[in-house]
Structure 1
Amino acid sequence: MAADMTGEKKALRREMLARRRAFSAQERTALSEMICARALDFPAVKAARTIMLYAATAEEIDLYPLMEQLLTEGRRIALPEIVGSGVMEARVLPAMDALTPGAFGILTPDPARGDRISPEEIDVIIVPGAAFDADGGRLGLGGGYYDRFLPRAPRAVRLVLAYDVQIVPHVPMGAQDVRVDAILSERRTIFCKYMGNHGGVRSFETT
């Protein structure tokens, strides 16, 4: 059973990453702008004081303009800092020029300029991934970093910003896999429905 799920995940991950790569640079820029504009209007983001984002790769939605806007608004921004195998912490990003290469070459806040913060202080976490479904299912990239981190942030809204092609009917989920609360794409807003330790039953709507 576990081997079957692992195979399912690998196949879905390959398909989703290929879908992301299929966008031209111009398409990716246009979609990123649309999705990030929607994120700024999302109620949980509008109300949040501390927001955790991530340093996007070239194929992901470009979150850097969103980070800059949130910093301009006076929000406290945090990014992941990888500290061990499958383990990450949240570190404050005081300004865009404080980004520096970290583990695996991933940009992270300069430790000399931004402190680590407790996950319990975070209001919204923008969660990356390869695929998502309307029940909050999330397929990550295989490292397990967010599956370990998210339960440590019990009050944070788990928000996904995704291309619409990344939303699928079903994501295979194991016992260790953590679900998300809401998904924003260029076309849809999905409030996920699931039963779990994080907030109990969620309502499901699309607009």
Structure 2
Amino acid sequence: MTPRELHEVKLAEKKALRQKMLAFRKGLTKEQHEAKSRAILARLYEEPRFQQARTIFAYASMPDEVQLYDLLAHALREGKRVGLPLITGKGLMEAVNLPSLAALVPGKFGILTVRKEEQSIIPADEVDFVVVPGAAFSPKGERLGLGGGYYDRYLMEKAPQAYRAALTFDGQVVASVPMEAHDAKVNLILTETRRIEPNT
């Protein structure tokens, strides 16, 4: 099989798994989302790597994702610098500083972002800890993203030093994830019932 054919096969596998996982996530009730999210965040707050991190890169979650609003508030209360994604081009993003929760406004696709006049970029080499979103993860640290490649590029090219944690629902942890050379793995997976630390 040629490299191109292999790439096409991987893309098809990724697409099928992504659709299955996103359907699972959407199938959870609002109450399940909230209860599971609370349990996952409680685990995160106990992690020494999180406690020690001075600069956290997280994201404003969509309704069907693990809910991270409390994480943003908690990190700011703890005196941490918090970054949120800012899309700067096709497949490219930076971490934009979140000065306070009051600076959040609805952005593209209704996702909360930092008000334009308050945006300032956090240098990627200063990011200690990244909360990495994804559709699926494996116990080996493999990650299936949402298809844009933003996190793969950011983590591999801009912030390779950052510790990578996935906060995800139990049902999104699968035996294996189709991976390619440019796909970034994670160092830690936390679900509502499990702590998985792959040997990455």
- 2:29 aligned to 10, 24, 29, which one? 24
Structure 1 Cα separation of the partners of residues 62 and 110 of structure 2: 11
Correspondence for 1:42 among 42, 47, 57: 47
Matched, 1:187 2:193: yes
Q: RCO (CA 8 Å, sep 6+): is it higher in 1 or 2? A: 2
Q: Secondary structure at the match of 2:189?
A: strand
SS class of match (1:112): helix
Letter in 1 for 2:138: D
Aligned positions, number: 194
**2:144 counterpart of 1:139:** yes
- Aligned identity (percent) is 46
Structure 2 distance, partners of 1:89, 1:138, is 20
Give unmatched runs, 5+ long, in structure 1: 195-207
Residue 95 (structure 1) shift = 0.6
Question: Given the alignment of the two structures, is residue 59 of structure 1 paired with residue 64 of structure 2, yes or no?
Answer: yes
**For residue 180 of structure 2, what is the amino acid of its counterpart?**
G
Letter in 2 for 1:153: A
Alignment counterpart, residue 153 of structure 1, candidates 145, 154, 159 = 159
1:82 maps to 2:108 = no
* Displacement after TM superposition at 1:111 (Å): 3.3
Task: Note the C-alpha offset of 1:10.
Answer: 0.6
- How far apart are the structure 2 equivalents of 1:155 and 1:174? 20
What displacement does 1:102 show?
3.2
Q: CA deviation at 1:13?
A: 0.4
Q: Which structure 2 residue ranges, 5 or more long, are not aligned?
A: 1-5
1:134 CA displacement:
1.3
Contact kept in structure 2, 1:82 and 1:103, CA below 8 Å: no
Match of 1:71 among 76, 99, 120: 76
* TM-score, length of structure 2 as denominator length: 0.93
- Residue 178 of structure 1 is matched in structure 2 by 184
| Distance apart, 1:154 and its partner CA | 2.2
- Secondary structure of the corresponding residue to residue 142 of structure 1: coil
| Match of residue 199 from structure 1 | none
Local SS of the residue matching 2:87 = strand
CA distance in 1, matches of 2:160, 2:19: 31
Deviation at 1:109, TM superposition (A): 1.4
The structure that is helix-richer by fraction is 2
- Structure 1: distance between partners of 2:22 and 2:172: 9
RMSD between aligned residues = 1.1
Code of the residue aligned with 2:74 in structure 1: it is Q
Residues 19-48 of structure 1, C-alpha deviation per residue, up to 9 Å, x if partnerless?
101111011100011101111111110111
Residue 12, structure 1, aligned to residue 17, structure 2: yes
Alignment of 1:106 onto 2:111: yes
Deviations 1:58-79 (A, max 9, x none): 0001100111111111111100
For 2:129 and 2:116, locate their aligned partners in 1 and report how far apart those are by CA, in whole Å.
22
One-letter amino acid matched to 1:53 = A
Whether contact under 8 Å (1:127, 1:158) holds in the other structure is yes
Instruction: Quote the Cα distance in structure 1 between the aligned partners of 2:108 and 2:89.
Output: 9
